[in-house]
Structures are given as C-alpha cells and as structure tokens.
Amino acid sequence: MFTHRLFKVWRRDFLVWQKYFAVSLVANFAEPFLYLIAMGYGLGRFVPSIDGMSYAQFIAPAILITTVMNSASFETTFSSYTRMEVQKTFSGIATTPVSMAEVVGGEVLWAATKAVMTSCVIFLVLAFFHLIHSPWVALMPLVMGATGFLFASLGMLMTSLARSYDHFTYYFTLFISPMFLFSGTFFPLENLPGWAKTLAYFLPLTYAVKVARHLFAGSFTLEDGLTLAGMFVVAILLGLVAVRRLVKRLIV
C-alpha cells in the first residue's frame, strides 16, 4: 500500500513550508512565551506549588504538548482540506505513480513532523525561563512525535468526513479546545469531580501531558513507555482509517 513515494509528498509539503518557515517560527515562539508570562508568572503567583512544582514548571510541558497538538491538528484539517478540495493538489499528484493512499499518508506524516519541528523552538523559551532541569527532557521529541502523529491522524479523519471548512470549526470548538483545557494541562485532574476525571481519561492529550510532565520532573517509568507505544499504535490505526476513507472518497 505504501512505498517510498510517501516521502515525496512529505518533501513537497516540506519545500512549501520552507518558504513560510520564518513566519511560522515567530508564531510558535511568541505564543508559548506569552502563555508562560501570563499564566506561569502572572496567574502562577496565586497558585500554591503543585506536587512540589511551581505553576510555571507545571504548565511548561503542557504548553509544549498542546502546541504540537494544535499545529498537527491545523495542518491535516484546514491545510490538507485546502490542498485536497480547493487546490486539487491531491488528484494532481495521484495521476503520477504516487498513489492516493501515499498522498494522504504523506500528508499525515508531514503534519506530525512539522508539529514537532516547529514546537522545538519552545525549548528555547523554556530554557530562557530556566524550566528545563532533567536530562529526561531529551526524550521529549518522542512524546511530541506521538502527539503530533496522533492528532495529525485524527485531523485527517475529520477531513475525510468534512464537506466544508465549517466542519473543522466544530471539531476545534467541541473537541480540541476542551482537550486543551481539561487534559491536566493547566490544573491537576484530581481537582475535577469524579465524572469529569473519568471523561478526561478518554482524551488522548491527557496521556501525552502526563508523560511529558514526568520527563520534565526527571522520571520515565515503564508505564510511560507503554503509554507512548499505545499512542503510536492509536495514531497508526486512526491514520489508516483516515487514508482508507479518503481514498474511497477521492478515487471514484
């Protein structure tokens, strides 16, 4: 089903991104910077330490992970949909030996890579605020990769269902935004009532934030490793469903 041609689609997106690279980096730099100042240091003054961490330390890994989520989600929804429906880039490529499955797969892979690459600038911001202490943070790209891949696949699945851009507005307001707030990102899940806590365990971001926070705090358990592996498996499965659905939709 997939050959090396998948990476040709990846490379196409990479080439285009290089042109807007500077602009996207500025955004990725500014946003976490503002969040850290406003929430970590502004709001954080009124927050007692959580599990021995300052509030800024608590939200730092979450800011990194949510940026990956947003970037990957945006890329396979609004951007991929534009390339597919408006620019007809997908069908243009699929008349070459590259198959439609490889086009869609390449897009997912690209979205994951881009999300990780652009989010890496946040490490600079975190270092600037002295928020990186543990050497385990070196494993963060793995957590970011799993997060990027998972949300890229999920976004592509939404694209396979979408008939217009409005669809994505629902997806972001009803799914991505609640996840941004209720995945143990800005406050510990323990503070939530029981039913909400249960609900939070169905949100994929919860797991990514948990593992990221462990790495920043200087630990990496077997459970964290299994969580990561699980995220990759879910990402692959969702990605395959998205590819299947889109091939069925586009190849008629």
Partner 1 sequence: MNSPAAIVASDLRKNFNSFEAVKGINFQIRRGECFGFLGPNGAGKTSTMRMIYCFSPLSGGFLSVLGMEVTREARQIKARLGVVSQEDNLDPDLTVRQNLSLYATYFDIPRAEAKRRADELLGFLSLQEKKDQKIDKLSGGMKRRLMIARALINKPEVLILDEPTTGLDPQARHLIWDKLRALKASGVTMVLTTHYMEEAQRLCDRLVIMDHGRILTEGSPSELVKKYVGREVLEIRAPRSVLLPIKARLEEKHYENELMRETLYVLLQHQDANILEEFPEIQGLDFHLRPASLEDVFLKLAGRELKE
Does residue 67 sit in helix, strand or coil?
helix
31 or 85: CB nearest partner 1: 85
**Residue 83 or 214 with smaller CB distance to partner 1:** 83
Two structure tokens written together for 99: 């198959």
Q: In this chain, which stretch among 68-76, 91-99, 193-201, 226-234 interacts with partner 1, using CB under 8 A?
A: 91-99
Out of 96, 169, 173, 198, the residue judged to bind partner 1 by CB under 8 A: 96
Q: What are phi and psi for residue 127, nearest 5 degrees?
A: -65, -40
CB 9 within 8 A of CB 114: no
The window from 6-14, 30-38, 157-165, 212-220 that contacts partner 1 (CB under 8 A) reads: 6-14
Nearest residue (CB) to partner 1, 40 versus 105: 105
Task: Enumerate residues 114-133 that contact partner 1 by CB under 8 A.
Answer: none
Site for partner 1 in 143-202 (CB under 8 A): none
Residue with tokens 């408006």: 86
| DSSP structural state of residue 1 | -
**Residue from 97, 188, 218, 225 binding partner 1 (CB under 8 A):** 97
Q: Per CB under 8 A, which of residues 16..75 are in contact with partner 1?
A: 16, 19
- The verdict on 221 binding partner 1 (CB under 8 A) reads no
Q: Which of 132, 144, 107, 82 is nearest to 12 (CA)?
A: 107
State the nearest-atom distance from the C-beta of 46 to partner 1, in Å: 46
Instruction: By CB under 8 A, name the one of 65, 98, 126, 205 that touches partner 1.
Output: 98
Q: Give the type of residue at 239.
A: G
What backbone phi and psi angles, to 5 degrees, belong to 50? Answer: -110, 120
Q: Is 206 one of the binding residues for partner 1 (CB under 8 A)?
A: no
Quote the least distance from Cβ 96 to partner 1, whole Å: 4
Size of the residue set binding partner 1 (CB under 8 A):
21
Q: Is 88 near partner 1 (CB under 8 A)?
A: yes
Compute the least distance from the CB of residue 113 to partner 1, in Å: 17
What is the CB neighbour count within 10 angstroms for residue 248? Answer: 11
Among 34, 41, 49, 92, binds partner 1 (CB under 8 A): 92
**Chain contacts with partner 1 (rule: CB under 8 A):** 5, 8, 11-12, 15-16, 19, 87-89, 91-99, 251-252
